[in-house]
Structure 1
Amino acid sequence: MRKLIHGGDVYRNPDCIDFSANINPLGPPDSVKKAVAACVNDIAHYPDVQCKELKRRLGWAEQMEEEALIIGNGAAELIFALGYSLRPKRALLPQPTFAEYEQALLAAGCEVFYYPLSEENGFRLTEDFLQVLTGEIDMVFLCNPNNPTGVLTERDLLIQILNRCKEKQIFLVVDECFLDFVEEAEAFELKEMTGLYSNLFLLKAFTKRYAIPGLRLGYGICQNKELLEKMEQAVQPWNVSVPAQAAGIAALEEDAYVRRAKVLIREEKAYLRKELIRLGMKCYASEANYIFFRGEKGICEGCRRQGILIRDCQNYPGLSEGFYRVAVRTRNENKKLIEGIERWQKQL
């Protein structure tokens, strides 16, 4: 099994600017910090095992019944719970994509097959994908927009995939964790389809949207009650901590914060993309809060020596040395990244 390497390794790289983790560049909202601080005495008690208040607030925010929601210790916990609950024999993953899907499937004893996304086609999923959705496949994971490429799959194609999966009795998981940062994200959401397709599960996360990866808080939307019951049995009891629940409740009031973040990301992504292209990088069409690009070998290490972390993507299946991903941050931080790459290039 491949060793997983994620972004955000600030513990072995202290005092760095972290472009390797794709979180909201505004940082955690003040209200969330205050909510976490205010619940310090409550850590003497077990968390609410049902996440009752958080589910109530989340149901209102998503306009979904609480019974269609499941809360997890990060979206990653739910990915593993899906594998343990459904026990698929054969699963299909686009390549490259988020590595945790493969890890969860292998841990559940599933055989994993891959659908390579072509660099020549901009790593886009096309209608050709429908042809590999056969009765031999039990489960499919799709990340929309995809990680690490940021490429968005159009809704029409998603519906075709969903229908094909229903026809072939394939369970479809769509990871929408980065959809929060997409312009007009509502046009790509599938939550209204969960009532029509019992084979559809949507993954969501507070982590990226509210910049709280250290608290671990994710959720799923699904109308398959039998599956949700199995997943509740698969996760640990008291899996969502007191601070995480308090943070989630406070975060759901932060609509203005999310809107500000989307404006900032739109402006700064355009700036960062323009500057990376000026430096000779090949940037792909990312719709998320990060930019995926191809450049000279050694950029990652060159940046690290200057206190800047970026994501080296060569350990993603389907990618090779020279592929990188950088989160969109503030203008001052983005300038430091560009200046760091320029300094490194001059030393070559």
Structure 2
Amino acid sequence: MIKETHGGNIYKFDHKVYDFSANLNPLGMPETVKQAVIGNIDKYESYPDPFNRELVREISKFHQVQEELICCGNGAADIIFRSTLALKPAKALIVSPTFSEYEQALAAADCRKIDHYLLKEEKGFQIQNDIFDLLDNSYDMMFLCNPNNPTGIPVEKEFVLRLAGLCAEKGIYLMIDECFCEFLDEEENYSIMASVDQLEKVIILKAFTKIYAMAGLRLGYCICSDEETADLINGCLQPWSVSTPASKAGIAAMQLSGFVEETKAYVKENRDYLLRGLAELGYQTYGPKANYVFFKSEADLIEPLSAFDIMIRSCANYMTLNEHYYRIAVRTREENTYFLESLAQVTKRNEEQTNG
């Protein structure tokens, strides 16, 4: 049996649940994206374009990068697995705790040695300068999630560029997962997308999953710093990894105006609302800047909150974390209010039981 390692598994319930376990845009899928999927239904009888020409053109325009640097796939996870299989790293470094697929993909590609740079709670789960002393030319690949999942803490652009420079000098491929970057208030202070074509051995991972709430359609992509790397990734695995419905949805999303900006403002307002509510109830948070909140609880919250039909993400299966750490998505104000009201009842009950 495959072990459940992600949030968003609403299918195990036979009724409506409040899903705070999956970090999707609380505004939902844009209406024009939905219409693009519906309006192109007559095109779904044919095979998809194996080269994703129209989608690649739109991504190229959106990010102002060359088309030859873009690889598309069946979600960001597909790109992660494609990359490791294409590049065949023998030794890799992962900044952890983080997204489990990095290690799974490395293992699937027979990576012989997987090391972890551990983010420490006493340092606020922030990456430190000692990582520069750790990297040497024995490594072939490195993974950095920015902002990190599950903490929601980003690394500033100058630090990432410095890291990219060292990796290039040591011959290390650096995959930077920017799938949550669009949710950051000041994205330009963290994303290195504007510099990608000036770098070496860099792969920036992106997805439509989170920002456009397209998790079920499965569409991700990466932008490489050079054509050789892009060719290797594009040449790996089966040719029809992007379905036509996903492609049409992605094209419509790339042509939207103002949606990302609207999302940023909405997420910030509601993230701050959740942070205030958690603080008032006595829970420790760590200064997240993405569309999810990472926090600590001494008492179990999964089962008590399920009585309110609320799903949250336990972080017990993340490296160095345990059952006391949780992650919740920023949802709509109505849902966030219901969550905090329910959590207040759970907290009060836990305190009464503790105090006898």
Question: Match of 2:150, as an amino acid?
Answer: P
C-alpha deviation, 1:340, in angstroms: 1.3
C-alpha deviation, 1:4, in angstroms: 5.0
What does residue 9 of structure 1 align with?
9
Deviates more, 1:299-308 or 1:329-338: 299-308
What does residue 213 of structure 1 align with?
215
Q: In structure 1, how many angstroms separate the alpha carbons of the residues matched to 2:262 and 2:227? A: 36
TM-score by length of 1: 0.97
Q: In structure 1, how many angstroms separate the alpha carbons of the residues matched to 2:97 and 2:39? A: 41
What does residue 312 of structure 1 align with?
314
Q: In structure 2, how many angstroms separate the alpha carbons of the residues matched to 1:127 and 1:156? A: 12
Is residue 244 of structure 1 aligned with residue 246 of structure 2?
yes
Deviations 1:85-119 (A, max 9, x none): 11001101112011110000011011211111110
TM-score by length of 2: 0.95
C-alpha deviation, 1:49, in angstroms: 1.1
C-alpha deviation, 1:189, in angstroms: 1.8
C-alpha deviation, 1:42, in angstroms: 1.7
Q: 1:81·1:234 contact (CA, 8 Å) conserved in 2?
A: yes
Is residue 58 of structure 1 aligned with residue 59 of structure 2?
yes
What does residue 336 of structure 1 align with?
338
C-alpha deviation, 1:12, in angstroms: 0.8
- Give SS of 2:174's match: strand
Deviates more, 1:51-60 or 1:189-198: 189-198
Is residue 325 of structure 1 aligned with residue 327 of structure 2?
yes
Map 1:214-233 to 2 at 5 A: 214-233=216-235
What does residue 44 of structure 2 align with?
43
C-alpha deviation, 1:295, in angstroms: 1.0
Deviations 1:130-189 (A, max 9, x none): 111112211100000000001111122112211111121111010000000001202222
Map 1:1-348 to 2 at 5 A: 3=3, 5-13=5-13, 14-110=15-111, 111-348=113-350
CA change 1:284–1:127 in 2 (3 A) is same
- Give SS of 2:209's match: helix
Deviates more, 1:78-87 or 1:193-202: 193-202
Deviations 1:168-227 (A, max 9, x none): 111101000000000120222212332222310000111111011000011111132222
- Give SS of 1:251's match: helix
C-alpha deviation, 1:121, in angstroms: 0.6
Deviations 1:306-345 (A, max 9, x none): 1111110011011011100011111100001111111222
Q: In structure 2, how many angstroms separate the alpha carbons of the residues matched to 1:94 and 1:63? A: 28
Unaligned ranges ≥5, structure 2:
351-356
CA change 1:4–1:140 in 2 (3 A) is farther
Q: In structure 1, how many angstroms separate the alpha carbons of the residues matched to 2:280 and 2:302? A: 18
Q: In structure 1, how many angstroms separate the alpha carbons of the residues matched to 2:175 and 2:83? A: 9
Q: In structure 2, how many angstroms separate the alpha carbons of the residues matched to 1:156 and 1:63? A: 20
Tell me how large the CA RMSD over aligned residues is: 1.4
- Give SS of 2:161's match: helix
- Give SS of 2:125's match: coil
Unaligned ranges ≥5, structure 1:
none
C-alpha deviation, 1:3, in angstroms: 3.9
Q: In structure 2, how many angstroms separate the alpha carbons of the residues matched to 1:195 and 1:330? A: 37
Q: In structure 2, how many angstroms separate the alpha carbons of the residues matched to 1:38 and 1:179? A: 30
Q: In structure 1, how many angstroms separate the alpha carbons of the residues matched to 2:264 and 2:201? A: 31
Task: Determine what percentage of the aligned residue pairs are the same residue.
Answer: 43
Q: In structure 2, how many angstroms separate the alpha carbons of the residues matched to 1:282 and 1:24? A: 24
Question: Match of 2:303, as an amino acid?
Answer: E
Q: In structure 1, how many angstroms separate the alpha carbons of the residues matched to 2:40 and 2:237? A: 24
Number of aligned residue pairs: 348
Question: Match of 1:28, as an amino acid?
Answer: M
Question: Match of 1:5, as an amino acid?
Answer: T
Q: 2:65·2:197 contact (CA, 8 Å) conserved in 1?
A: no
Q: In structure 2, how many angstroms separate the alpha carbons of the residues matched to 1:230 and 1:161? A: 23
C-alpha deviation, 1:258, in angstroms: 1.6
C-alpha deviation, 1:61, in angstroms: 0.8
Deviates more, 1:36-45 or 1:331-340: 36-45
Q: In structure 1, how many angstroms separate the alpha carbons of the residues matched to 2:228 and 2:4? A: 31
Deviates more, 1:104-113 or 1:34-43: 34-43
Question: Match of 2:185, as an amino acid?
Answer: E
C-alpha deviation, 1:255, in angstroms: 2.6
Q: 1:4·1:99 contact (CA, 8 Å) conserved in 2?
A: no
Q: 2:156·2:189 contact (CA, 8 Å) conserved in 1?
A: no
Question: Match of 2:89, as an amino acid?
Answer: P
Q: In structure 2, how many angstroms separate the alpha carbons of the residues matched to 1:338 and 1:294? A: 15
Deviations 1:16-62 (A, max 9, x none): 01111111100001111111111222221111111111111111111
- Give SS of 1:32's match: helix
